[in-house]
């Protein structure tokens, strides 16, 4: 895969994460304003629980991003294998028509 496409993909993933974070912050601030006095059965406030879930999801996304950058993620390797196979077929066909 060309370097510029990898860079674009990394940038788009980073942009998506930033948008998700901004959306979450907006929704969290709305929830915190309306739910600051509500307490769940186990003593946690809903805002704290939401924050914990957000941190967990962010950690998962960061791990997946690291795996993609390292070239170990199946989400990356499977499409890459298909692209490489298509490239080889097209190269062979192009060689026969020369």
In the predicted model, what is the mean pLDDT of the chain? 76
Whether residue 86 is predicted with pLDDT greater than 70 in this model: the reply is yes
pLDDT tens-digit readout, 48-64: 999 999 999 999 999 99
Distance CA 36, CA 40 (A): 11
pLDDT computed for residue 96 by the predictor: 85
CA dist list (Å): 97 to 12, 84, 90, 91, 94: 38, 20, 11, 10, 5
**Beta carbons of 78 and 67 less than 8 angstroms apart:** no
**Beta carbons of 13 and 62 less than 8 angstroms apart:** no
pLDDT tens-digit readout, 25-49: 665 555 445 444 445 555 556 889 9
The DSSP bridge partners found for residue 39 are: 45
The mean pLDDT value for 71-76 works out to: 88
């Amino acid at each position: 895969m060309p370097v510029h496409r990898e860079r674009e993909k990394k940038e788009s993933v980073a942009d998506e994460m930033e948008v998700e974070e901004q959306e979450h912050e907006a929704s969290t601030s709305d929830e915190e304003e309306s739910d600051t006095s509500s307490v769940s059965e186990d003593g946690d406030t809903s805002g704290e629980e939401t924050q914990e879930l957000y941190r967990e999801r962010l950690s998962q996304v960061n791990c997946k991003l690291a795996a993609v950058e390292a070239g170990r993620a199946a989400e990356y390797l499977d499409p890459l294998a298909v692209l490489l196979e298509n490239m080889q077929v097209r190269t062979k066909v192009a060689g026969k028509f020369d």
